[in-house]
């Protein structure tokens, strides 16, 4: 019970942070999520650890997560992650001897599904900002069918979830989370051989993910199509429209990017938050994967800004009175909201802001 309360508080805090971090969060297909029963969310993975944050804060089910084992190396972080229902999944790159640890994790997943709770999995196996659905690993099918085999009366619903960002790693973020149609795993499991069941489930999830997120086939035309879409300044969060453009080849002509007239406001916000900004700039230099830019930037914002603003507000209130401190805090929050919600999200407007 205490862990659930802790999770709910943290989830609410993260949701509040994402509101200030994101220009727009579009959620579709929320009615496809059953209110009860075992669910496996099979999610594409374009943008590091912010992907599960957007998914878990846009549905009412309490999620358990499988994330790469490297995130659990620090003992303190390991305790925090485990308290938030995160579990490590080991890959060959973690060392072939580590793969045996996955069986214990699978057993935990079976018990989670037996209790008719939810599990979030990224079946592509790793993150990649490319706008394409990559081949799925069979690890998630082992969990689904393993639970069905162990508990004969259990039904597991697999719901594909597509995430599409306007521009991964850019600030402010604009994202679409699209929940797909439920896939009843037991029907597949009981009517087919194990090998065929795996292929059927993987194909069904892949087919939906290609519709639920922007999907450009990863062939010799990928870069050309992507460049045409970027030149046309399309809104990648309008997934159905963009996928139709890709399928038909009817991509709009080059469009002039909107100028970011709110840029001076951004510099004012940076000046008002100079210490967190300098911390971010120092950390940003050490990030070697673009998919982790949003992860670290959002984490710093979430961890430092409340304390930084609380300290400044207390300081101002001590010298000039509580009312002045209140106005400072209110105006600071409004400036951030104005910039986040009103600034353009095209490529040119954020060309030099990817590291801010």
User: pLDDT, tens digit, for every residue of 314-352?
Assistant: 999 999 999 999 999 999 999 999 999 998 876 544 443
Mean pLDDT of 191-217: 96
More confident residue, 14 or 257: 14
pLDDT score of 61: 87
More confident residue, 294 or 7: 294
Tokens 């400044």 belong to which residue? 312
pLDDT at position 205 is 98
pLDDT at 96: 62
Tens-place pLDDT, residues 246-276: 999 999 999 988 888 999 999 999 999 999 9
- Cα-atom radius of gyration of the chain, to the nearest Å? 22
With contact defined as beta carbons under 8 Å apart, do 297 and 306 qualify?
no
**Mind listing the pLDDT tens digit for each residue in 135-188?**
998 889 999 999 999 999 999 999 999 999 999 888 898 999 999 999 999 999
Q: Is the pLDDT confidence value at 302 over 60?
A: yes
Each residue of 43-77: pLDDT tens digit? 999 998 899 999 999 998 888 888 777 677 778 87
Which pTM was predicted? 0.91
> Which residues partner with 165 through β-bridges?
175
Please classify residue 45 by burial: count the beta carbons closer than 10 Å to its beta carbon, then call 0-12 exposed, 13-18 middle and 19+ buried.
buried
Task: Tell me what pLDDT residue 353 has.
Answer: 40
**Cβ distance 269 to 261 under 8 Å?**
no
Q: Compute the mean pLDDT over every residue in the chain, rounded to the nearest whole number.
A: 90
**What pLDDT score was predicted for residue 346?**
67
End-to-end CA distance of the chain: 39
Q: Comparing C-alpha atoms, which of 17, 148, 11, 15 is closest to residue 86? A: 11
pLDDT confidence band for 94 (50 / 70 / 90): low
Residue 16 has pLDDT above 90, yes or no: yes
Q: Which residues pair with 173 in a beta bridge?
A: 22
Largest interatomic CA distance in the chain? 74
pLDDT in tens, 101-119: 778 888 999 999 999 999 9
Domains in the chain, CATH or no CATH each: 2-212 (3.40.1130.10), 263-342 (no CATH)
Residue 126 has what pLDDT? 85
């Amino acid at each position: 019970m205490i862990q659930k309360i802790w999770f709910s508080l943290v989830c609410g805090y993260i949701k509040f942070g994402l509101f200030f971090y994101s220009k727009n969060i579009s959620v579709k297909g929320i009615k496809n999520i059953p209110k009860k029963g075992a669910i496996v969310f099979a999610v594409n993975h374009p943008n590091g650890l912010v992907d599960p944050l957007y998914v878990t804060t846009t549905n009412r089910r309490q999620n358990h997560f499988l994330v790469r084992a490297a995130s659990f190396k620090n003992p303190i972080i390991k305790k925090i992650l485990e308290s938030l229902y995160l579990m490590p999944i080991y890959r060959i790159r973690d060392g072939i001897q580590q793969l045996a640890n996955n069986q214990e994790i699978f057993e935990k997943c079976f018990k989670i599904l037996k209790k008719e709770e939810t599990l979030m999995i990224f079946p592509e196996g790793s993150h990649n900002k490319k706008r394409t659905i990559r081949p799925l690993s069979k690890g998630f099918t082992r969990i689904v069918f393993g639970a069905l085999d162990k508990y004969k009366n259990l039904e597991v619903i697999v719901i594909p979830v597509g995430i599409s960002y306007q521009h991964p790693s850019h600030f402010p973020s604009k994202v679409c989370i699209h929940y797909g149609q439920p896939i009843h795993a037991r029907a597949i499991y009981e009517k087919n051989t194990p090998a065929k069941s795996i292929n059927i489930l993987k194909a069904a999830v892949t087919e939906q993910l290609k519709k639920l997120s922007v999907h450009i086939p990863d062939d010799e035309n990928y870069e050309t199509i992507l460049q045409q879409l970027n030149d046309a300044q399309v809104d990648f969060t309008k997934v159905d429209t963009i996928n139709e453009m890709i399928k038909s080849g009817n991509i709009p002509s080059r469009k002039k990017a909107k100028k970011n007239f709110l840029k001076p406001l951004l510099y004012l916000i940076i000046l008002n938050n100079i210490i967190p900004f300098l911390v971010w700039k120092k950390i940003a230099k050490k990030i070697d994967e673009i998919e982790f830019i949003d992860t670290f930037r959002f984490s710093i914002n979430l961890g430092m800004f409340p304390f930084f603003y609380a300290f400044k507000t207390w300081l101002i209130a001590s010298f000039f009175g509580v009312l002045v401190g209140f106005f400072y805090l209110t105006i600071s929050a409004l400036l951030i909201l104005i910039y986040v919600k009103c600034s353009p999200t095209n490529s040119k407007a954020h060309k030099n802001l990817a590291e801010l």
